[in-house]
Structures are given as C-alpha cells and as structure tokens.
Amino acid sequence: MLYPSFVERRGEARGASMIVRGQLEERFGPLPQSVIRRLEQADAEQLLTWGRRVLDAASLEEVFADDG
C-alpha cells in the first residue's frame, strides 16, 4: 500500500482549505485575516469538520465553536 507523502497531504489540505474558505465567504461575506490563517494552518480532518458546520451555522463563530 502506498502512503501519501507530506507534500501530497499538504496539497490535499490546501485544496480543502480553499473549498471551505469559499463556502464561508459565500455564506458570511469577507473573512477576517485570523480566520484565513486558521484555514491555512488546519489539517484535513479539521477542515472537514468546519465544512460540515458551514451548512447549519448561523454565524462564523458557530463554525469555529468548540475548537479551543
């Protein structure tokens, strides 16, 4: 079985980050720089969680709730 390299995983996370960012901007408008940084630094699992929350969240704060 082949395992993805760090570069491949980082590329996948970057693509997911761009998708979640687009969803957030469509739903809530321009994003604060702090949110953009969080998206850029997040791993794929966290991005998936946020992407799911976008569907039902009433605010940007709800998307990132309970994330420390």
* Domain contains 52: yes
pLDDT of residue 2: 61
Distance CA 50, CA 7 (A): 22
**pTM, full prediction:** 0.77
Distances (CA, A) of 60 to 7, 9, 23, 66, 67: 30, 26, 11, 13, 13
Q: Which domain holds residue 49?
A: 31-68
Number of domains in the chain: 1
The answer to whether residue 43 sits within a structural domain is yes
Instruction: Compute the distance between CA of residue 26 and CA of residue 20 in angstroms, rounded to an integer.
Output: 10
Q: What is the pLDDT of residues 11-67, one digit of tens each?
A: 566 778 999 999 999 999 999 999 999 999 998 889 999 999 999 999 999 999 976
pLDDT of 68 strictly over 90:
no
